[in-house]
Structure 1
Amino acid sequence: MTAATDRPKVSLRQFWADLPTPGRWLLSTVAVQTLGRGLTLPFTVIYINEVRGIGLGTAGTLLALIAVVALLVTGPGGSLTDRVGARRMLIAGTTSQLVGCVVLAFATTVPMFVVGFVLLGFNFGVSWPAFNALIASVVSGPLRQQYFGVNFALVNLGIGLGGVVGGLFVDVREPMTFTLIFLADALSMLVPIGLLLGPLRHVHGRAQRPEDAPTVGYLDLLRRPPVLWLTFITFLCTFIGYGQIESGFPAFSRQVGEVSTGVIGLAFALNTLVIVVMQFPVLQAVTGRRRTRGLLVMVVVWFVSWLALSAAGLGPATIGATVAVVGFMALFGFGEIFMQIAIPAITNDMADDHIRGRANAVNAGAFQAGAILGPIVSGLLLEHDLSGAFIATMLAGLVVMAGAIVVLERQLDDTENGVTAR
């Protein structure tokens, strides 16, 4: 038999049947809880600026506060995940998100927004390593890789649907509509809290350190070459990708491509559709193959996507510019699938059980750093009309990333790279 025929067939029915009960509980509520996040995510800056009358510069600083706080608490959050368990940290983070959304619903001053965004940042910082560690504690082998991919699709589905509903509901002339969507976001947090206090109350997501195992700190982790290279790749993925989606991409599309906000909204909707529709075909294609090869496919797809976006500047305010902007987000979404399947799976397959929280925290920290630096760089370049330099920076970053992925592949064993099941 060939390697191709040996690879298992991936389908939603088989995936669901193979999941252990805790994994089913975790996955079944993802779209619901992210629906609340989708209600508020696209409209937060509008709420701060147009409804509460706070300047755009201050609004941008407030939004950046989320990533800054998340970066600060990610390290301690990862350590606490290993010590007290992923479930407890998720309860703490989700409760913080709930309270933060309630504060934001009624915020009218900068200090109130600061409190709300600090609470949201705390959740994002501690929940990422805790959630990934909890998944890894209940799902193993090739199923773990599939789980991360399906979870990513459901997150995008929830946020996408939430954005559509929020867009139809909110009205800047009616401040109460914004208050209600933030309260709905808060209520959606009751779903994971109830799950963690109920059906998943016995899944703590904590492993005891073996007596003969050395103590491992963050510097010890980063001294491991594969961890260091994966951290660098994650940073580049965010700097070039997610760090630009809410800043560089819309700014370039408006200033250089001169497309409407409606076109940008359509591009985001198509991005979500591509991720949801293509998730299982991509999972089928990559299962049993080296995860690093999937990351290289992502690099190629993203390279083409940035070239496509650059074409928007050749004919501003034309159908060609619209196609370039929408095409960029469609291609970007297709590349995202490979990244979200590979990176969390490699991270957790490299980590021993008792350091899983810290391993995921390192990865989350790299993501947060890219999310902070990405908008700063794109803002400076586009503010000074250096759109060509902006595109060139993204393309150069992808070339560097491809080299880093090749180096990483040489440092992973077959299990860590997805060729065999752990």
Structure 2
Amino acid sequence: MFAGKAPFQEFTSLLNPHSRRIVAGIALSAIGRGMTLSLLMVYLHDIRGFSIAFGGAVMAWGALFGIICTPPLGSLVDHIGPKKVMLAGLVISGFSALAFAFVTTQAHALIAITLFAFGGQCVWPSQMVILTRVTPLKDRTKIFGFNFMLMNLGLGIGGFISALIIREDSILSYQIMYFIDSLTYFVFIFFIWGLNTPHAGKYVAKEHEPEKGSYRELFAIKELSILTIAGIILLTFGYGPLQSGLPIYATQYLDLAPNWLGIIFGVNTFAIVAFQPLVLKLIANYSKYTALISVGVIWAFSWLAVGISPYLSMFMAGIALCVSQLIFAFGEMVHAPTSPALTQELAPEHIRGRASALTSLQWGISGIAGPAVAGLMIGANLEQLWVLTMAIGVLAPIPLFAYLKRSTNKAKK
């Protein structure tokens, strides 16, 4: 296997005591997310008796609230330091998981998802800032990639554990799942509490640097603004519809059994865990902008594999979707280490929290726009046009990445 002992050790050797705490905690909390996140709609509808429409509204509100609170939380990271914000976020995330376990009314569900969204938006930019600061510039792409691999491994393990725990019509089995999810966040707190490094505190400006920053200063960095716009487009047509549109496409349009979904997304997770070290070695030979251009091309081929599935037998249609997720995984393995590393390179240290929040905002916007487009087009029986739109959409930001690459090359001359 490509992810053998030697490559794995190559990436773990880059970890220091501080970054080791971060990636271990992220992997641990991913186990909890892998257990609960994909089953939230099922839990709210089948166990708690809420309508599917309300379950969808709960998830949409969580995504929207995450977008609303991301900018001020990014500023807070710069103002008081990432460690304090992250500790608060982990406490809130832990209690939000407990809140889900005891949801009985619609108001309870909305409170739980609001806590979850707020806690998550505290944790994400904070952990990215700390991980960036404690990792040398030359190693950041590898560390971000290694972190992504461990996170997917955690999600896969969480999904497997949930399959063992969950029992049909058993409230207790779901509550146990949320208890474990909560526990992973509280354990993560101890990892971060023990971070004894100035990199986890508020950045102290040097003599030639401004003490305060703003989003206006961040958006004045032309390259970063263009990268953000391109990232939103890429994720909206790539990641955005994956967890919402593809399951509906598979089960309702192709009439595949729901069991296929576990296999399809399992292929994606396995590929990331197995091949991330190899992909990191390959992209080290190219510029980050070239790597991002390749993501659009790879994801376009992934959607084309989805597009041919209706013309195959039912079994082969399922295989085609598995192939699509295998291809998609390679794009993920290029995007995950490259995009955040590039964002952190372009951002000055005193507004790094805001820059990390900007990255989080890309995911939030695409997390609403992607499912919305999927719902409208698939609901209107335009399944194949939806797939074609996704395939074209992931190619749309390529000119922006190419422009940034040319600008960077000119600046170096």
- Give the TM-score normalised by structure 1: 0.92
Letter in structure 2 aligned against 1:297: S
Q: Which of 64, 80, 101 is equivalent to 1:84? A: 80
Percent sequence identity is 27
In structure 2, relative to structure 1, the CA distance for the partners of 1:173 and 1:143 (3 Å cut) is same
Q: Which moved more, 1:46-55 or 1:120-129?
A: 120-129
Structural RMSD (CA) = 1.9
Conserved? CA contact 2:74–2:357, under 8 Å:
yes
Residue deviations 1:314-333, cap 9 Å, x none?
A: 23x61221111111111111
Residue 263 of structure 2 corresponds to residue 266 of structure 1 = yes
Q: Which of 328, 331, 334 is equivalent to 2:330? A: 334
Which residue in 2 is equivalent to 1:362? 358
Q: Which of 41, 47, 50 is equivalent to 1:51? A: 47
Which residue in 2 is equivalent to 1:113? 109
In structure 2, relative to structure 1, the CA distance for the partners of 1:338 and 1:414 (3 Å cut) is farther
Which residue in 2 is equivalent to 1:305? 302
Counterparts of 2:83 and 2:227 in 1: how far apart (Å)?
A: 26
Q: Which of 339, 342, 357 is equivalent to 1:346? A: 342
Counterparts of 2:141 and 2:57 in 1: how far apart (Å)?
A: 36
Aligned length: 406
- Structure 1: 5+ residue stretches without partners: 1-9, 417-422
Counterparts of 2:149 and 2:173 in 1: how far apart (Å)?
A: 28
Residue deviations 1:116-138, cap 9 Å, x none?
A: 00011002222221111010110
Which residue in 2 is equivalent to 1:420? none
Residue 279 of structure 2 corresponds to residue 291 of structure 1 = no
Residue 225 of structure 2 corresponds to residue 216 of structure 1 = no
Cα displacement (A) at 1:200: 4.2
- Structure 2: 5+ residue stretches without partners: 1-5
Which residue in 2 is equivalent to 1:35? 31
Residue 366 of structure 2 corresponds to residue 374 of structure 1 = no
Residue correspondence of structure 1 range 6-405 to structure 2 within 5 A = 11-200=7-196, 203-214=199-210, 215-315=212-312, 318-405=314-401
Letter in structure 2 aligned against 1:404: L
Counterparts of 2:199 and 2:216 in 1: how far apart (Å)?
A: 29
Counterparts of 2:207 and 2:195 in 1: how far apart (Å)?
A: 31
Counterparts of 1:203 and 1:297 in 2: how far apart (Å)?
A: 33
Letter in structure 1 aligned against 2:96: G
Letter in structure 2 aligned against 1:272: T
Residue deviations 1:218-253, cap 9 Å, x none?
A: 133223221111101221232112211111111111
Cα displacement (A) at 1:158: 0.4
Conserved? CA contact 1:264–1:325, under 8 Å:
no
Residue deviations 1:121-164, cap 9 Å, x none?
A: 00222222111101011002221111100000111110111011
Conserved? CA contact 1:72–1:125, under 8 Å:
no
In structure 2, relative to structure 1, the CA distance for the partners of 1:45 and 1:144 (3 Å cut) is same
Counterparts of 1:172 and 1:357 in 2: how far apart (Å)?
A: 43
Letter in structure 2 aligned against 1:222: F
Cα displacement (A) at 1:310: 0.9
